[in-house]
Amino acid sequence: MTIPTDRSPDSTLAFLREGYRFVGDRCDRYGTDIFGTRLLLEPTVCLRGRPAAELFYDNDRFVRRGAMPLRGQLTLTGVGAVQGLDGAAHRARKAMLMSIMTAAAIRHLGQLFDDEWRARIPGWSGAGPVMLFDEVDRLLTRAVCAWSGVPLTGSDEARRTADLHAMIDAPVAVGPPHWRGLLARRRAELWTGDLIERARTGALPAPEGSALRVVAQHQDEQGRPLPRRIAAVELLNILRPAVAVGRFVMFAALALHDHPQWRERGPRRRRGHRELRAQGTGGTPLLPLPVSAL
């Protein structure tokens, strides 16, 4: 089988510009679910579809160590994180993280986010235009910190939200946005490292089953506690991805704005709900939209 090759000598800029549509659009263009290209001048194979996704879970075909570019480790995942481990070390670390993700725990996290959203409705309704993207990041930060057993004071909320946001954006950014991500990663690891240390000494009570307690008490395959910095990295690997979900919340808001007929398929608007007029990151009006539709 001959794999089609993208015509561009390097597709990095197109990938950054097109984002999620990059692979699908080219697969449609070439009439295939697989094609070759170059990203950062490196030969790269792009795939789509369920068989392709299943392929990446075959540990006999892929290794994680060295796969993540260093700039991604230094900002997004953290150096030494589960995403870069193989073999027994990976299995032990992944099992620790997955032990937190029970069905009941995930429902609880969803409920916390729902509660935070509903609590903000009165403030949004009387505030005029609202930057929904920023608001959702703050709500998700509050929800996942409460769920994880991580204390978050009012004075800390803006800083922690901004740092988690900066780490998500930094791997593909250049210049100041990337530097902000590096600084955010350093601040965040110092913060979560302190939380880990306090949880281990008992100075900070960590609820049974919470992410903070599970990570702080985890032992590696040799029966040793995780080094403080590695534990800090893995705690961030629970907080940061939850905040990244805000991107998909925004996709939902945009879709409901562009296709208002879809709102009727969602939950019925409850009596007393008020419409929220918000703006996206580029200032594009997204709403009036019944917040219950999200």
What is the mean pLDDT of each successive set of 10 residues along the chain, which is 294 residues long?
Answer: 87 90 94 93 92 86 83 87 90 93 94 94 84 93 97 91 92 86 95 97 94 94 92 96 93 90 67 42 37 35
Q: What angle do CA 118, 269, 130 make, to 5 degrees?
A: 45
pLDDT of residue 81: 92
- Same domain as 151, residue 189: yes
pLDDT of residue 291: 35
pLDDT of residue 70: 81
- Same domain as 186, residue 279: yes
- Same domain as 36, residue 152: no
Residue 78: DSSP 8-state = -
pTM above 0.85, yes or no: no
- Same domain as 158, residue 112: yes
- Count other C-beta atoms under 10 Å from residue 95's C-beta: 11
User: Cα–Cα distance between 249 and 185 in angstroms, integer?
Assistant: 24
In contact, 65 and 85? CB cutoff 8 Å: yes
- The domain boundary, picked from 42, 62, 82, lies at 62
In contact, 109 and 147? CB cutoff 8 Å: yes
pLDDT of residue 277: 42
- Same domain as 153, residue 93: yes
- Same domain as 104, residue 194: yes
In contact, 214 and 101? CB cutoff 8 Å: no
Looking only at the bridges linking them, the beta strands covering 130-131 and 278-279 are parallel
Q: What angle do CA 132, 134, 135 make, to 5 degrees?
A: 60
Neighbouring residues of 202: CB distance < 8 A, sequence distance ≥ 6:
none
Residue 60: DSSP 8-state = T
pLDDT of residue 232: 97
| Locus of tokens 């009006």 | 285
Domain span at residue 14 reads 1-62
- Same domain as 94, residue 57: no
pLDDT of residue 127: 76
- Same domain as 108, residue 3: no
- Same domain as 251, residue 196: yes
pLDDT of residue 142: 96
pLDDT of residue 290: 35
Q: What angle do CA 197, 210, 246 make, to 5 degrees?
A: 100
**What CATH number is attached to the domain comprising 77?**
1.10.630.10
- Same domain as 96, residue 39: no
- The domain boundary, picked from 30, 62, 94, lies at 62
The count of domains in the chain is 2
- Same domain as 183, residue 288: yes
- Same domain as 187, residue 58: no
- The domain boundary, picked from 62, 80, 113, lies at 62
User: Cα–Cα distance between 231 and 214 in angstroms, integer?
Assistant: 10
Q: Which tokens sit at 214?
A: 């599970």
